[in-house]
């Protein structure tokens, strides 16, 4: 086995960190597989030690039948990867600076075009440690690494004013459901909930067990998150008063719920968390996968109104426009994004935590670390992602939607959950 060596430059690190990801469904027991370091930092004994790691991790890779993922570091000054751990943390050193470094990822080292952005990390110290992945995320969830991203619409001449100005937001690491909450999962938790003191305004509907649940109001989803948490023995995130002692189980009121942000249970994503996750590490794209859209990539209503909608089929998605509406699709019908998330564009609108206001991005709170939106009730709660009924413009990562929280439902509204670390 050969150790790869690269010379440090002003724009690219000279080391790789390689991990394994499943070829199909992600496994909760994914492990670090391989690390390749290069450059002048390596002494002969260090190279020998790394070669032993390479052999050990490669054997594990073959045993699990998984493909590899490589990471590299790009930045404005010379840098060097100096360490890694099996739980996904990478350490690097760099010349003194106050700038943002980009960690990129690839599944093969053949060809420079295989590298894509993964996270952006603000750096102020000469040594930085950041978790790139979690080898054991909660079942059905993806790890979203901490870092900054550019929030908003980067394409001039399109979108609306509420998507501007562009601004950088730092978001701490969290877990997100890989899939929208399905009707099957909703029903399982719902039945448990109504037997444990919960009440809902809507029972939730779905075209099939593996389709996203729909016709759920914002308050329904918040209470359901609490029930899912309690059912799994986790600490609920939402309460009826500021003292955070009474778990929110019933009712719908503008003055509550009160969030417990450090709880380990399920909750709705903030708007910033949702957009960071949807982009999959690559800021500046129109969609999670690139800048054009077709029915091969998402379930949406295609028309020629937008130059970037290049689908060969128009109207509702032909594979799913059967029977009566809604024309939702089974979750995971399309390829995952860079973070392993499915259906972040199209299929069903997804509720977020934040209150919505058109001009939120000009407020100082929009650029705070882990921003959570306006602190007072505004024009409904945020919706993201577009759905089966909306046009391509609504499937963009930057698109912001909203709906009232008191009784607003419909066959276009669903959700997915997140958890803090």
Arithmetic mean of pLDDT, 138-150: 96
Distance, in Å, from the CA atom of 361 to the CA atom of 371, rounded to the nearest integer, reads 11
How far is Cα 265 from Cα 227, in angstroms, rounded to an integer? 9
Instruction: Find where tokens 């949807």 sit.
Output: 278
Any residues with CB less than 8 A from the CB of 174 and at least 6 apart, and which? 144, 269, 273, 418, 419, 420, 421
- Amino acid 319: pLDDT: 98
Whether 123 has a pLDDT exceeding 50, the answer reads yes
Domain locations along the chain: 15-136, 144-421
pLDDT at 52: 33
Span 159-168, average pLDDT: 95
Angstrom CA distances, 192 to 118, 183, 226, stand at 38, 14, 11
Contact 220, 407 (CB under 8 A): no
Q: What is the pLDDT at residue 354?
A: 96
Looking at the predicted structure, is the pLDDT value of residue 289 above 90? Answer: yes
DSSP state of 369: T
Q: Among 66-80, 123-137, 171-185, 363-377, where is mean pLDDT lowest?
A: 66-80
Predicted confidence at residue 78, as pLDDT, reads 87
Give per-residue burial for 325-339: e unless 16+ CB within 10 Å, then b: ebbbbbbbbbebbbb
The mean-pLDDT minimum among 72-86, 262-276, 318-332 falls in: 72-86
Residue 164 DSSP SS3: coil
Whether 234 has a pLDDT exceeding 50, the answer reads yes
pLDDT band at 365 (very low <50, low <70, confident <90, very high): very high
CA distances from 421 to 45, 119, 130, 208, 418 (A): 36, 17, 14, 32, 10
The mean per-residue pLDDT over the stretch 74-79 comes to: 85
Mean predicted lDDT score pLDDT of the chain: 85
- Examine the pLDDT at 178 and tell me if it is beyond 70: yes
Task: HSE, CB side, 13 Å, CA atoms: give it for residue 379.
Answer: 10
3-state helix, strand, coil in the chain (%, to 5): 15, 25, 55
Q: Does residue 16 surpass a pLDDT of 60? A: no
pLDDT(227) > 90: yes
Give residue 67's pLDDT. Answer: 52
Does domain 144-421 sit in CATH 3.40.630.20?
A: no
- Predicted confidence at residue 39, as pLDDT, reads 28
Phi/psi for 102 (5° steps) reads -110, 125
Band (116; pLDDT cuts 50, 70, 90): confident
What integer pLDDT is reported at residue 407 of this predicted model?
Answer: 66
Asked whether the beta carbons of 118 and 71 are under 8 A apart, the reply is yes
């Amino acid at each position: 086995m050969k150790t790869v060596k690269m010379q440090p430059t002003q724009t690219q690190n000279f080391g790789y960190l390689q991990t394994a990801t499943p070829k199909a469904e992600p496994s909760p027991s994914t492990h670090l597989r391989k690390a390749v370091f290069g450059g002048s930092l390596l002494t002969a004994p260090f190279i020998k030690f790394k070669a032993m790691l390479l052999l050990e991790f490669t054997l594990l890779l073959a045993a699990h039948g998984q493909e590899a993922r490589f990471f590299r570091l790009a930045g404005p000054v010379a840098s060097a990867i100096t360490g890694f751990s099996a739980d996904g943390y990478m350490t690097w050193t760099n010349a003194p600076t106050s700038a943002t470094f980009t960690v990129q990822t690839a599944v093969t080292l053949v060809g420079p075009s295989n590298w894509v952005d993964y996270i952006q990390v603000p750096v102020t110290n000469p040594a930085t440690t950041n978790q790139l992945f979690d080898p054991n995320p909660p079942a059905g969830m993806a790890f979203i690494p901490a870092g900054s991203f550019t929030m908003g619409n980067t394409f001039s001449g399109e979108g609306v004013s509420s998507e501007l100005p562009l601004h950088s937001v730092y978001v701490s690491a969290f877990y997100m459901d890989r899939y929208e909450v399905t009707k099957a999962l909703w029903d399982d938790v719902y039945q448990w909930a109504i037997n444990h003191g919960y009440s809902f305004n809507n029972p939730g509907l779905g075209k099939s067990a593996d389709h996203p649940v729909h016709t759920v109001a914002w308050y329904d989803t918040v209470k359901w998150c609490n029930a899912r948490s309690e059912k799994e023995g986790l600490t609920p995130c939402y309460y009826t008063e500021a003292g955070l002692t009474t778990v929110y189980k019933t009712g719908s009121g503008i003055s509550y719920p009160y969030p417990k942000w450090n709880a380990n249970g399920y909750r709705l994503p903030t708007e910033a968390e949702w957009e960071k996750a949807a982009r999959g590490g690559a800021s500046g794209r129109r969609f999670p996968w690139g800048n054009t859209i077709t029915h091969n990539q998402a379930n949406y209503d295609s028309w020629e109104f937008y130059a970037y909608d290049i689908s060969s089929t128009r109207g509702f998605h032909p594979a799913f426009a059967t029977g009566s509406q809604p024309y939702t699709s089974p979750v995971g019908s399309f390829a995952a994004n860079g973070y392993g998330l499915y259906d972040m564009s199209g299929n069903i609108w997804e509720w977020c935590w934040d209150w919505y206001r058109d001009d939120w991005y000009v407020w100082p709170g929009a650029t705070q670390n882990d921003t959570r939106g306006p602190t007072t009730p505004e024009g409904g709660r945020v919706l993201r992602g577009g759905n089966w009924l909306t046009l391509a413009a609504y499937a963009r990562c930057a698109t912001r939607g909203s709906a009232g929280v008191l009784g607003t439902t419909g066959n276009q509204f669903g959700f997915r959950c997140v958890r803090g670390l």
